[in-house]
Amino acid sequence: MLIGSRPPPAATTAQATSARAEAASFDPKNPQDVQALARKYAPIRYMHPDEQYKPGDPLDFIQSSRVREHRSFWPDRTPDGFDEGEIDPAKLKGMQKDNLYLDLKDTDAARRGNVAGSPTLYQYDEKSNTMTYWFFYPYNKGPGPGNLNHEGDWERVTVQFDAQQKPTEVRYSSHTGSVSRSWKDAPKENGRPVVYVAEGSHANSPDTKTKTLVDVAGIPIAQDHFGRGQRVDSARQEFRDVKAEPWYGTRVHWGERGKLAAVGQTFTSGPSGPSSTKGPLL
Ligand SMILES: [Ca+2]
Ligand SMILES: [Ca+2]
């Protein structure tokens, strides 16, 4: 008998049937289906062994911050109701101008984060059929000169699915861009992506190789360092849909205005957070 004329092995047929059934049963409008998919591929992060600035909860960051409105010619000011300890996170939604900054208090305790209390914030995007995992850190230290540090740090990992809801690719945020691996080549543990997190900058990487990633005016000035330190399993953290966060969509900067912002170096200010203009890595 010719090989080509053989019927497919039973296991393959069963797998194909089960994949079709899974795809057919996934309802992107059903929050339980979305969360189940998010859990299935929740990344495992390895922090650098010397990491000082760990993941945190954005809600804790808000409570330890005051909003500062940057104004030309006039001194900065704090709008009523937005001083430290009194911010209603839902009210941040109304902040849609780009001159507003969440100014974290300048203490080590506020900057260090809290792994146990840090949530996994996931976002399913129906249009691109991707799942994005948002990781927040209260402080970004380097790499490079101290002036490049900034309060608030949003990093993310995006998993791309095919029409059967099977993963095909993983994308990892790093500084201004991202790197990607096919699902086949992406490092995994128990079928979930493994991510290495750079010391201080929290850039994400599929491997531990040291890379030059930070440049100013085309000149490389610093390298990221990756290592296999603390293991943070996103599936074991509190799981929350980022779009359901009370502040989702705010345009406030997560972190004070950078000292170099006045000379155009806006990356020294707190970054913008998850919103309709900052979504999956595509
Ligand atoms: Ca501050
Ligand atoms: Ca960063």
pLDDT of res. 176:
73
Mean pLDDT value of segment 238-266? 91
The answer on pLDDT for 36 being more than 80 is yes
Distance 263 CA to ligand 1 centre (A): 19
What does the angle CA 52 – CA 43 – CA 170 come to, to the nearest 5 degrees?
Answer: 115
C-alpha pair distances (Å), 31 with each of 122, 124, 233, 246, 265: 11, 10, 21, 17, 40
- Evaluate if residue 124 carries a pLDDT over 90: yes
% residues pLDDT > 70 (the chain): 87
CA 36 to chain centre: 19
Q: For residue 263, name the pLDDT band (cuts at 50, 70, 90).
A: confident
Ligand nearest the Cα of residue 224 is: 2
Q: Pick the ligand that lies closest to the CA of residue 254.
A: 1
How far apart are the CA of 246 and the centre of ligand 1, in A?
22
Distance 264 CA to ligand 1 centre (A): 19
Are 101 and 71 in contact, with CB atoms under 8 Å apart?
Answer: no
Ion ligand 1: residues, CB < 5 A? 103-104, 106, 256
pLDDT tens for residues 16-25?
666 555 566 8
Three-state DSSP state, 251: coil
Q: Are 113 and 55 in contact (CB under 8 A)?
A: yes
Q: Please state the domain extents for the chain.
A: 30-268
